[in-house]
Amino acid sequence: MTRKEILGKTFELINDYQSSVASGEKSVINYHQPHQLKDKIDLKLPSKAGNYDNLFSDIEKYLKHSVHTSHKQFLNQLYSGENLPALIGEFITALTNTSMYTYEVAPLATLIEKELINKMCRIAGFTDGGGTFTTGGSNANMLAMMSARNKLLPDIKKNGLMGAQTLAVFVSDQSHYSFDTAANILGIGSDHVYKIKSDSHGRMLIEDLVKAIETSLIKSETPFFIAATAGTTLLGAFDPLDEIAEIAQNYKIWMHVDGSFGGSIILSTKYKYLFNGIERADSFTWNPHKLMNVPLIASVLLVKEKDRLLKNLTDLDTDYIYHDNDVQEYNLGKQSIQCGRRVDALKVWLAWRFYGDEGYAQRINRMFELANYARKKVDLYNQLQLLAEPQSLTICFTYKSDFEKENDKLNLEIRETLMKKGLSLVNYGYLKEKVAIRLVISNPDIEEKDLDEFFENFVQMGSVLENEKSIVQQVVQAEKCLIIE
C-alpha cells in the first residue's frame, strides 16, 4: 500500500466512525468485562513484523470497543462531543510532531500558545498575567500550589521543605482530589489540606473557611493556599469567588481558582457572572479540553504575575538546552516543569478562530439551555428526585424506590444496566453518602430529544428493576414466614 492509500483508508475509517456515532447507529458503549475483552482481542506484542492489513484490523477492533465519547447518550464525563476543527488541529500536531521547549523547534506554535495565554489572561482580568499549558487540570492545580509555596518560601527551591513551617491548604469538601495529590507531591501532606464545608448547592461556606484559617493559625501553621472551585466535579457548583478573594486578601493567602471543569463558562457573556471576583485570584486552572470540546489534553494554568512560573518552577541552570540568545522569552520550556511538551495549543487556536468568541459563547449558552431542560425533566417524573439545585451543567438526581435501604443499590443497577445494554453512559457520585446519579451536559450538539430518550430509558429501567426487587423481596418474605412457622 502506498502512503496515499494508507492515509485514504485511515480517513475512510474516521469518516465512517464519526458518521455512525453521530447518527446514533453505534450504541454508546459495547460493554465487556476485562476477561471477556481479553478473549476477544489479540493484545500480544509479537516478535515478527505485521503489515498494514493487520494494522487496520487492529484499528477496527479498537474503534468497535471504544466508548463513543461523542455519542449523544454519553453523559458520563466532564467532557464529550465532537469539534471537527480541533480534531483536525490534533492531527496536524501529531503530523508536525514538535516540542514546546524552544522557539527554535516550535516557532509558530510558541506564538500561538502566547497569544492564547494572553487572551485567556485578559478574559480572566489578569492584566499583566502569564501562564502555561499543562498536562491536565490536576497538574495545573499542583503547579498553582507549588507556585504559592515557592513564592512564600523562595528558598525551598534550593533548600527543600525539611525544617520549614507547617503549611496549610484550604479547599471545599466538594473540591477535586488533585489537591490531596498535590499536597502529597509537594511535601505538604494531605492532612494539611482542610476541607471546608459547603452549602446545599455545593458552594464553600465562607464562615467555615474563616474558622478553619483561624484554627490553623492557632495551631501555628502557615495558611498559604485557598483553592476555590469554578464548577465542582459532582454538582458543578461555583464557590463565591469575590468573598473568598476578600478572605485571601485579609490573610495574605494565595488564591487559586480551579476551573478545570467550569473554566470555559467564562466565555459566555450571559454566565460570566459566576466568575465575579476571578480577577482578584492569583491563579486559575482552565481546561479547554472540557467545555471547549477540543480533544484531550488542553489545560492551562494562568497566573496573575507574568513571571511567577519562571521564578518558582524552573529558574535553574539549564544552559545546555536553553541557550542565551535573542529569542529567550520565547523559549517556553523555561516556565514549565515538562521538558518535551506536545503542542496542545494548536487545536485550541484553530477551534477558537473557527468559532470565534461569539460562537463559543453560543455553545456554552446552549449547554446551559440543555442543562435547564434536563433539570426540568427530573421534576416531570415522580420517580426522580433532584438532589441539588444545579448551578451550571451537571444535574444530580436519584430514582426513588419503595425500598429505601436498597435505594443506592437500585440506582447503581439502573446505571449499570443502561451501560451494559449500550443505551447510555451516565456517571454517579456520593452526596452526603448517598448515591447521586450525575448527568453532565458538556456537548452542545446533543438535543432535547436525546435527553428525553435518556430519562425515558432511566425511569423505565428503574421500574423494571424495582419490580424484580419487589418479587425477590416477596420471596424473601415468604421464606421468612416459613422459617418463623
The CB-of-457 to its own copies minimum distance in angstroms stands at 18
If the CB atoms of residues 54 and 249 are measured against its own copies, the closer one turns out to be: 54
Whichever of 190 and 477 has its CB closer to its own copies, that residue is: 190
CB of 177 to its own copies, least distance (A): 4
Q: Which DSSP string do the residues of 247-286 spell out, in sequence order?
A: HHHHHT-EEEEEETTTGGGGG-TTTGGGGTTGGG-SEEEE
Is the CB of 230 or the CB of 245 nearer to its own copies?
A: 230
**Burial level of 67, CB count in 10 A (0-12/13-18/19+)?**
middle
C-beta of 340 vs 449, nearer to its own copies: 340
How many whole angstroms separate alpha carbon 157 and alpha carbon 468?
Answer: 61
For its own copies, the closer CB: 157 or 280: 157
**How many CA atoms, within 13 angstroms, populate the side-chain half-sphere of residue 67?**
18
Output the nine-digit C-alpha cell for 320: 545546555
107's grid cell: 516557532
Closest approach, Cβ 318 to its own copies, in A, equals: 4
Least distance to its own copies, CB of residue 384, Å: 21
Taking 3-state DSSP, the helix, strand and coil percentages for the chain, each rounded to the nearest 5, stand at 50, 15, 35
Kindly tell me which of 65 and 306 has the beta carbon lying closer to its own copies: 65
Least distance from its own copies to the Cβ atom of residue 435, Å? 10
Q: Name the minimum Å distance from CB 231 to its own copies.
A: 14
Nearest to 290 by CA among 307, 269, 315, 265: 265
Smallest distance, Å, CB 327 to its own copies? 6
Q: How far is CA 390 from CA 101, 200, 396, in A?
A: 41, 10, 8
Q: Answer for the pair 345, 116: CB distance below 8 angstroms, yes or no.
A: yes
Task: Give the residue with the Cβ less far from its own copies, 109 or 439.
Answer: 109
Tell me how far apart the alpha carbons of residues 417 and 405 are, in angstroms, rounded to a whole number. Answer: 20
Residue with cell 423505565: 460
Smallest gap from Cβ 96 to its own copies, in A, equals 4
The CB-side HSE value for 342 (13 A sphere, CA atoms) comes to 17
Q: Please identify, using beta-carbon distances, which residue of 139 and 391 lies nearer to its own copies.
A: 139
The residue assigned the cell 467564562 is 266
Burial zone of 439 (CB within 10 Å; 0-12 exposed, 13-18 middle, 19+ buried): buried
The nearer residue to its own copies, 277 or 444, going by C-beta atoms, is 444
CB of 233 to its own copies, least distance (A): 7
Nearest to 365 by CA among 291, 236, 271, 447: 271
* DSSP run (H or E) holding 24: none
